[in-house]
Amino acid sequence: MPQDITSEQVLEAARALGTREFTREDLAQQLGVEKPEIKKGVQQAKKAGLLEKTRDDAENTGHFRLTESTG
């Protein structure tokens, strides 16, 4: 059964990656879940202004970064 990944878990995973930019796949792997399971947490973090999309690459994969307010 899928678990509910929170925006805080998404932010912790992003910090743990230690990279400037990351994809949702990177976050899912860091959390040990499937990509669809992090959708709600990513949306909440974006809505709260803690995560922002920076670009889409050639394969149309979205890349994200933590905002300045997340440290």
For the chain, domain boundaries: 7-70
pTM of the model: 0.89
- The residue whose two tokens read 């997340």 is 70
- Residue 21 has, within 13 A of its CA and on its CB side, a CA count of 9
What is the predicted pLDDT for the residue at 52? 96
Please provide the CATH number assigned to the domain covering 7-70: 1.10.10.10
What is the predicted pLDDT for the residue at 43? 96
In the chain, what is the straight-line distance between the N-terminal and C-terminal CA atoms, in Å? 33
Per-residue pLDDT of the chain (71 residues; tens, 9 = 90+): 457 899 999 999 999 999 999 999 999 999 999 999 999 999 999 999 999 999 999 999 999 999 987 65
